[in-house]
Structure 1
Amino acid sequence: MSITDAYEIISEKLITWATNFIDMLPNILVAVIILILFYFLSKLARKITGKVFGKVSSNVSLVKLLGNTISLAIVVIGLFFALGVLNLDKTVTSLLAGVGVIGLALGFAFQDTAANFMSGIFLAIQKTFKVGEIIQSNGYMGVVKYINLRATIIHTFQGQEVILPNKMVFQNAIENFSDTNRRRVDLSCGISYGDDLDKVKEIATKAIQGSDFLSKEDQVDFVYTEFGDSSINFDLRFWLKDTSQSTYMHARSEAIVKLKKAFDENDIMIPFPIRTLDFGIKGGEKLNTMLKSKMD
Structure 2
Amino acid sequence: MNYVAILSNEIEGMGKTFVQALPSLVIALAILILTWALARGMARTSRRITARAQVRDDLKQLVETLVRLLVWIFGTLIALTVAVPSFTPAGAFASLGVGALAVGFAFQDIFENFLAGVLIMLRDKMNIGDAITCQGIAGKVEKITLRETHIRQFSGELTVVPNSMLFKNPVEILTDQHLRRNEVIVGVSYDTDLAHAQQVIEQALATVEAIDSDKGTVVFAQEFNSSSVDFLVQWWSDTSVQDLRLTKSQVVFAVKSALDGAGIEIPFPYVTNTFKEPLPLLSAKALQEERTA
Task: Identify the TM-score tier after normalising by the shorter chain.
Answer: 0.5 to 0.7
Alignment partners' CA distance in 2, 1:151 and 1:78: 30
Alignment partners' CA distance in 2, 1:56 and 1:71: 22
Equivalent residue number for residue 268 of structure 2: 272
Equivalent residue number for residue 261 of structure 1: 257
Equivalent residue number for residue 193 of structure 2: 196
- What's the TM-score, normalizing by structure 2? 0.66
Amino acid aligned to 1:178? T
Equivalent residue number for residue 63 of structure 2: 63
Equivalent residue number for residue 239 of structure 1: 236
Equivalent residue number for residue 115 of structure 2: 118
Counting aligned pairs with the same residue, the percent is: 28
- What's the TM-score, normalizing by structure 1? 0.65
User: Contact 2:190–2:229 (CA<8 Å) still a contact in 1?
Assistant: yes
Alignment partners' CA distance in 2, 1:182 and 1:151: 30
Equivalent residue number for residue 224 of structure 1: 221
Alignment partners' CA distance in 1, 2:47 and 2:97: 26
Equivalent residue number for residue 106 of structure 1: 103
Equivalent residue number for residue 185 of structure 1: 182
Q: How does 1:163-178 map to 2 (within 5 A)?
A: 163-178=160-175
- Check if 1:155 corresponds to 2:152: yes
Amino acid aligned to 1:258? A
SS at match of 1:104: helix
**CA shift at 1:243, angstroms?**
4.8
User: Contact 2:46–2:63 (CA<8 Å) still a contact in 1?
Assistant: no
Contiguous gaps of at least 5 residues in structure 1? 1-42, 83-87, 279-296
Equivalent residue number for residue 133 of structure 1: 130
Contiguous gaps of at least 5 residues in structure 2? 1-40, 272-277, 281-293
**CA shift at 1:140, angstroms?**
1.2
Change (3 A) 1:98 1:198: same
Alignment partners' CA distance in 1, 2:62 and 2:112: 15
Alignment partners' CA distance in 2, 1:277 and 1:71: 76
Alignment partners' CA distance in 2, 1:61 and 1:103: 29
Equivalent residue number for residue 12 of structure 1: none
Equivalent residue number for residue 96 of structure 1: 93
Alignment partners' CA distance in 2, 1:200 and 1:179: 35
Alignment partners' CA distance in 2, 1:123 and 1:170: 7
- Check if 1:212 corresponds to 2:195: no
SS at match of 1:153: strand
Change (3 A) 1:277 1:207: closer
Change (3 A) 1:131 1:93: closer
SS at match of 2:181: strand
User: Contact 1:56–1:125 (CA<8 Å) still a contact in 2?
Assistant: no
**CA shift at 1:69, angstroms?**
4.4
Equivalent residue number for residue 144 of structure 1: 141
**CA shift at 1:49, angstroms?**
11
User: Contact 1:113–1:150 (CA<8 Å) still a contact in 2?
Assistant: yes
Q: When the two structures are aligned, how many residues end up with a matched partner?
A: 229
User: Contact 2:149–2:160 (CA<8 Å) still a contact in 1?
Assistant: yes
SS at match of 1:180: coil
User: Contact 1:134–1:176 (CA<8 Å) still a contact in 2?
Assistant: yes
Change (3 A) 1:76 1:50: farther
User: Contact 1:191–1:271 (CA<8 Å) still a contact in 2?
Assistant: yes
Change (3 A) 1:50 1:127: farther
SS at match of 1:203: helix
Amino acid aligned to 1:115? E
Amino acid aligned to 1:150? R
**CA shift at 1:146, angstroms?**
1.5
